[in-house]
Structure 1
Amino acid sequence: MSLTSPNRRSVNRALSALALVVVGIGAVTACSDDDSAAHQSTTQDDTGSASPETSQAVRTKLRMIDNGGHRLAFYVTKGSSSTIVLDSGGGEYSSQWKEIVPELHAATGATVITYDRAGLGKSDVVPGPWKVQSAVSDLKAGLEQLGVTRDVTLVSHSQAGEIANYLAQDNPKMLSGALLVDANLPPFFTDEEIPRLVAAAQPEVDAAKKDPEKPANRQLISTSEGFAAAHRAFHRVVWPDSVPARVMLSEKTPFEGSPEDARRWREAAASFAHAAPNRSLVTAEGTSHEVPTDRPDLVLKEIENVFAAQH
């Protein structure tokens, strides 16, 4: 049985997975150079020269990080030795967090970091299939080159949930806590669910292959390659008991058009959240999968709560 047509904007980001990339393919297209330019106006370049346009521009610096021969754009709003990292959903640029960063920095005093994953924003395109291990390597390398190796509060939306789970599993001492915002979680990707996602995405993947150079299509194609095997492996990832985590679930889920898949998404979130005493679950009422855009105030509040609990 294939999925009924879900919200196109949601799917690309939500499951980071194929269907999500597919469902949200329209969002990737919308996340254009204009969006990137808007973020640039609040940053400094690699030389440290600041734009006078806003006070935020004085505090935020663009750092280009090299990892394995490709460059990635990291945006650093310097604060205390504690660090909050905001990781965007599939197809999203760092500018997804532009409304939250200044308020979060002001509220916590922490260093706040956002970044563009490979192939997005100012970061280099890396040819071939999207591999979560490569994405984890990019994030870890960027943080280490910025001198961030501990006391990280990680905030991950949608597809970034996969990066968060692998990073936490392999580097638990780096993290002091995490907020997973309607994120991809291992319990969801069962042997029953993965074929449904693949079937739902296939028409969009076929269409994307007709114009593979288009950025949105490139993202979708790279995510679809090896999707089933990659997510069977993701299903086996174990979040460490030493890292507290709060799961923020959207009310509508990425699957508004498919009650069965929406039910599975909610059950997976609950299963993950109830697996350890230092995890919890909250539902963001009135939100779609795009929780950071729908209700940045709620996301800000939850980040502050997770951060405060560890400091």
Structure 2
Amino acid sequence: MKKQLFNLFLLCSFITANSQSKTIDTLVDVGNHKLHFKIVKGTGMPILFDSGAGNGGSVWNSILDKTSEITNATLITYARAGIGKSTIDTLQTDESKHGIISSIEDLEIGLKKLGYDKDILLVSHSYGGFLSTLYASRHPKLVKGIVLIDVNHNYYEDGIIEKEVATQDQLIAQWKISNKGTYFMAKTIIETVKIMSKISIPQSIPVVDFVNGIPYLKVPEEIERWKECHRKFVANNPNVIGITAHDCGHGIWMGNPPLVINSIAKLYANSSKQKAEILDRALQYSITACNEEKAAVLAFNNSEDDLNTWGYELLRKNENQKAAEIFKLNLALNPSSANAYDSYGEALLKTDKKEEAIKMYKKSIELNPENKNGKEVLERIAKDDTKPLN
């Protein structure tokens, strides 16, 4: 049975993560609406996390604990207006007043009310990179470093954003009903790109710029444009370190948590009096994380999931007979797995062994009565068998 992957739209990356428990949860009035902040209290300079379009602060939950342990910093996540628990100014009917400038002003008011309008380190993802860039340009003396995670840079200039928006009418209409924050982001994104084309991060601020190793864009020209935008950004600023996150998609901190956490820690340490201690904790974390990763790889190799993944890779290459042999081996090693029977049944169908495939699907459903995929396959086979011959 295949695990389904979800395509990403444009700037949006709707990602979920494990919940973070060590937080102060609060709504802050920023004028006619409220922003939802979560704060992990620490003793040092705060780190602000700005998420991609459509995401709230919870997208960062999976790396907050370790980042807090290593840096001892106060960690701040939040959701922009109309996202998650953050409300939106319903009295403001002018769509242009819900754009990037409104978002940065909301953030500035919120941080000031919380008492975090002083020195700060920024971490941002995708669309959130616009906010980090804008905040740094407005407060160059306060921002001590920025970690950019697969942000947009200048990718959507030169008419690209207009073409993208023109293809998304149905999604934008849906967001108008179900997700006001994302709706206004989409309605103002053309103006946002124009504004951000004239703004850059001051070169006095140290930056780590991550780019994905597994592109979420599909067209080769688009992939190359995305990479080239990151290359130019690094080349044009001597205070930027560029890192390609190999084997990671758009959500790099989820694909390789130690890479992102240690980059944040290193940048943070350079502005801290506890630099040696922070770097030592980061090193210890790296050692543990590397060892745990090796253990996980060993556990995965030749496991049920490993063989199942291998089998589907062969199916994608139309090497159906080889795939069937792998699934058969997986079944022999895991005779009580409903998923193993289901996968083997799929390969048998592709090798024209329908009767054997039916047996596999029936056994899969016997082991797992909730196997919707198996039931649907059997229903399709039954319908095909009852069709009259021409």
Identify the TM-score tier after normalising by the shorter chain: 0.7 to 0.9
Paired position in structure 2 for 1:152: 120
Q: Does 1:234 align with 2:196?
A: yes
Paired position in structure 2 for 1:274: 235
Task: Report the Cα distance in structure 2 between the residues aligned to 1:138 and 1:144, rounded to whole angstroms.
Answer: 10
- TM-score norm. by structure 1 comes to 0.77
Name the SS for the 1:173 alignment partner: coil
Higher strand share: 1
Deviation of 1:166 (Å)? 0.8
Task: Report the Cα distance in structure 2 between the residues aligned to 1:211 and 1:154, rounded to whole angstroms.
Answer: 28
Deviations 1:212-234 (Å, cap 9, x if unpaired)? 3222xx44432232432331221
Residues 118 and 124, structure 1, Cα contact 8 Å, conserved in 2? yes
Specify every segment of 5 or more residues in structure 1 that has no aligned partner in the other structure, as ranges. 1-6, 12-18, 43-55
Deviation of 1:69 (Å)? 1.7
Identical aligned pairs, as a percentage?
28
Name the SS for the 1:121 alignment partner: coil
- TM-score norm. by structure 2 comes to 0.62
RMSD: 2.2
Deviations 1:24-76 (Å, cap 9, x if unpaired)? 4xx3xx76xxx7xx74x72xxxxxxxxxxxxx3xxx21122111221111111
Task: Report the Cα distance in structure 2 between the residues aligned to 1:165 and 1:211, rounded to whole angstroms.
Answer: 26
Higher helix share: 2
Paired position in structure 2 for 1:106: 69
Residues 25 and 39, structure 2, Cα contact 8 Å, conserved in 1? yes
Task: Report the Cα distance in structure 2 between the residues aligned to 1:118 and 1:220, rounded to whole angstroms.
Answer: 9
Name the SS for the 1:310 alignment partner: coil
Ranked by relative contact order (alpha carbons within 8 Å, sequence separation 6 or more), the top structure is 1
Paired amino acid for 2:161: I
Residues 205 and 221, structure 1, Cα contact 8 Å, conserved in 2? no
Specify every segment of 5 or more residues in structure 2 that has no aligned partner in the other structure, as ranges. 273-390
Name the SS for the 2:77 alignment partner: strand
Deviation of 1:295 (Å)? 2.2
Matches within 5 A, 1:244-263: 244-255=206-217, 257-263=218-224
Paired position in structure 1 for 2:257: 296
Residues 48 and 122, structure 2, Cα contact 8 Å, conserved in 1? yes
Task: Report the Cα distance in structure 1 between the residues aligned to 2:7 and 2:88, rounded to whole angstroms.
Answer: 22
Deviation of 1:210 (Å)? 5.4
Q: Flag the 1:63–1:221 CA change in 2: closer, same or farther, 3 A.
A: closer
Q: Flag the 1:211–1:175 CA change in 2: closer, same or farther, 3 A.
A: closer
Name the SS for the 1:172 alignment partner: coil
Task: Report the Cα distance in structure 1 between the residues aligned to 2:225 and 2:235, rounded to whole angstroms.
Answer: 15
Q: 2:178 aligns with which of 209, 214, 217?
A: 214
Paired amino acid for 2:8: S
Task: Report the Cα distance in structure 2 between the residues aligned to 1:146 and 1:210, rounded to whole angstroms.
Answer: 34
Q: Flag the 1:78–1:206 CA change in 2: closer, same or farther, 3 A.
A: same
Deviation of 1:254 (Å)? 3.3
Residues 246 and 273, structure 1, Cα contact 8 Å, conserved in 2? no
- Equivalent residues, number: 263
Paired position in structure 1 for 2:157: 190
Q: 2:205 aligns with which of 240, 243, 254?
A: 243
Residues 20 and 254, structure 1, Cα contact 8 Å, conserved in 2? no
Q: Does 1:205 align with 2:169?
A: yes
Task: Report the Cα distance in structure 1 between the residues aligned to 2:69 and 2:175, rounded to whole angstroms.
Answer: 44
**Highest Rg: 1 or 2?**
2
Deviations 1:64-98 (Å, cap 9, x if unpaired)? 21112211111111112411111111111211111
Task: Report the Cα distance in structure 2 between the residues aligned to 1:125 and 1:142, rounded to whole angstroms.
Answer: 14
Paired amino acid for 2:11: L
Task: Report the Cα distance in structure 2 between the residues aligned to 1:211 and 1:139, rounded to whole angstroms.
Answer: 23
Q: Does 1:20 align with 2:11?
A: yes
Residues 175 and 183, structure 2, Cα contact 8 Å, conserved in 1? no
